[in-house]
Amino acid sequence: MPALQILTSLRPILEFVFPPVCVVCDALLLPREHKVCGACWKSVRPVRPDEDLFVQMHQRLTADGYVSGFFSAFLFEKQGALQSMIHRLKYEGMTSLGVELGKKLGEGLKERNDIDSKAVLIPVPLHRSKVRERGYNQSFHICKGLHAVTGLPIRLHALRRHRYTESQTHLNIEDRKKNVDGAFSIPPSLHSAVRNKPVILVDDVITTGATTNSCAQVLCAAGAEKVFACSVALAE
Ligand SMILES: [Zn+2]
């Protein structure tokens, strides 16, 4: 019997001995819950489109004319359940959590009717040395969740990050802009992946919008019809 089949047949026994628990709070999960319990999801605050943080980011992102619209599903609160989920997704290899987060993001977009049926999903890329170190791009797994909800195709390799940029957490807005300026590109042979297409650019967390704007500029230059930016979380 193949190993996968053996594991599948053993699953009920394994789950009885090691019942699945919430990755945030360790509570036992109910049969319909995946990775995160209902109480932890409830503690995560959705971003309201009329609140100052959203309005300011919308203005900042659309000011240069490269980003046509913007949506973030949740507020990134320090020490909150969402921070814990994103940490596990980025640094502990929990890629399936990215898919769950992507599904929530997709549901939020659907509710707002912010989905163009002709759009392609493009994750904000990591530099190849970062992909090698981490083993994956977390935003690609968020895209997989978005794909599950919307059916839109993912274009993983169109947009590239060709300059390695250090962590931006210690930089202010102006320095972040300089840090990512010219860091992204699309090879001419891949312009057809975005030409005349609406693009949904997908990130885990948007903080200042500098990365988003830099990516959107490159996508527009390659002929994208428009760029709608979205993220699981919006940081203060
Ligand atoms: Zn929990």
DSSP line for 57-70: HHHHHHTTSSEEEE
Please give the chain's pLDDT, 236 residues, in tens: 677 777 678 777 777 777 899 999 999 999 889 899 999 999 999 999 899 999 999 999 999 999 999 999 999 999 999 999 999 999 999 999 999 999 999 999 999 887 889 999 999 999 999 999 999 999 999 999 999 999 999 999 899 998 776 666 667 777 777 777 778 999 999 999 999 999 999 999 999 999 999 999 999 999 999 999 999 999 98
Going by their DSSP bridges, the two strands 160-161 and 184-185 should be labelled as antiparallel
Instruction: Report how far ligand 1's centroid is from the alpha carbon of 81 (Å).
Output: 8
* Contact criterion met (CB below 8 Å) for 79 and 119: no
Maximum pairwise Cα distance, the chain: 59
Instruction: Report how far ligand 1's centroid is from the alpha carbon of 37 (Å).
Output: 4
Instruction: Report how far ligand 1's centroid is from the alpha carbon of 20 (Å).
Output: 11
Instruction: Report how far ligand 1's centroid is from the alpha carbon of 40 (Å).
Output: 4
The model's pTM:
0.89
Tokens of 229: 């930016």
Instruction: Report how far ligand 1's centroid is from the alpha carbon of 16 (Å).
Output: 19
